[in-house]
């Protein structure tokens, strides 16, 4: 009887040890708890989803050029449901482009003029990287407005990719009808060396 009890205890300790080891191995393989919502965004090819907490600066590194697509294609409906101007003002876009995007010391965002194109991908990258880095990654400026100043990189000031998609939805919502995709597509111009995205 004593041998049976010792044997059962040994099996119990071995089982607990294996269980702990398996748990630790799983923890090492899994992303940290705070990253679980953002990790699948680009890795699973599911870019981009509402509520994505990936920082914009990380998303542009993860997703190849031309592959960023807004999870809010019906920007007009979203603008009616939510006060998107708050998203626009939070990182300070209003300080240069005016309180409602109508212009300030920088060009108005309300005229349907797209300096780099109006695809989701180019708008997301322009706001995140700024115009100088966008150009370095292979994009070509299409036109200039009345102000020739560069767009600064603002990706660091926008907390999540979802916040930036809502800012882009706001910008689209204040433009004249017919100046946004799918009504009017102004594709970005990218040099062949720029394909593949910034390193």
Region 59-72: what's the mean pLDDT?
A: 95
C-beta separation of 141 from 183 below 8 A: no
| pLDDT for position 70 | 95
| pLDDT for position 110 | 85
The fold of the 40-194 domain, in CATH, is Cytochrome Bc1 Complex; Chain D, domain 2 (1.10.760)
| pLDDT for position 68 | 97
> Is residue 105 classed as helix, strand or coil in its secondary structure?
coil
Question: How do the domains of the chain map onto residue ranges?
Answer: 1-30, 40-194
Question: CB atoms < 10 A from the CB of 57, how many?
Answer: 15
Q: pLDDT at residue 10 above 60?
A: no
Mean pLDDT for all residues in the chain: 75
| pLDDT for position 111 | 86
**110: DSSP letter:** S
Q: Which of the residue ranges 85-89, 130-134, 141-145, 183-187 would you say has the lowest mean pLDDT?
A: 85-89
From the list 44, 46, 58, 48, the residue with the least C-alpha distance to 158 is: 58
Q: pLDDT at residue 5 above 60?
A: no
Q: pLDDT at residue 174 above 50?
A: yes
| pLDDT for position 42 | 44
Measured CA to CA in angstroms, residue 145 lies from 45, 104, 107, 127 at distances of 35, 13, 7, 17
pLDDT band at 109 (very low <50, low <70, confident <90, very high): confident
What is the bridge-based pairing of β-strands 189-190 and 139-140? antiparallel
| pLDDT for position 36 | 37
- Residues forming a β-bridge with 119: none
Q: pLDDT at residue 154 above 80?
A: yes
What gap in Å lies between CA 139 and CA 148, rounded to an integer?
17
């Amino acid at each position: 009887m004593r041998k049976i009890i010792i044997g059962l205890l040994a099996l119990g300790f071995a089982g607990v040890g294996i269980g702990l080891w398996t748990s630790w191995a799983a923890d090492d393989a899994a992303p940290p708890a705070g990253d679980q919502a953002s990790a699948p965004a680009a890795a699973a090819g599911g870019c981009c989803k509402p509520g994505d907490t990936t920082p914009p600066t990380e998303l542009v590194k993860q997703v190849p050029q031309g592959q960023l697509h807004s999870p809010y294609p019906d920007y007009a409906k979203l603008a009616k449901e939510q006060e998107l101007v708050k998203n626009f003002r939070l990182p300070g876009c209003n300080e240069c482009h005016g309180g409602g995007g109508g212009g300030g010391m920088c060009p108005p965002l309300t005229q349907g003029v797209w300096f780099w194109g109006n695809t989701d991908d180019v708008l997301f990258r322009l706001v995140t990287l700024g115009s100088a880095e966008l150009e370095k990654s292979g994009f070509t400026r299409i036109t200039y407005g009345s102000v020739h100043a560069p767009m600064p990189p603002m990706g660091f000031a926008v907390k999540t990719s979802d916040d930036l998609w809502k800012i882009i939805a706001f910008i689209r919502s204040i433009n004249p009808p017919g100046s946004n995709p799918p009504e009017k597509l102004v594709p970005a111009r990218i040099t062949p060396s720029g394909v593949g995205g910034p390193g």
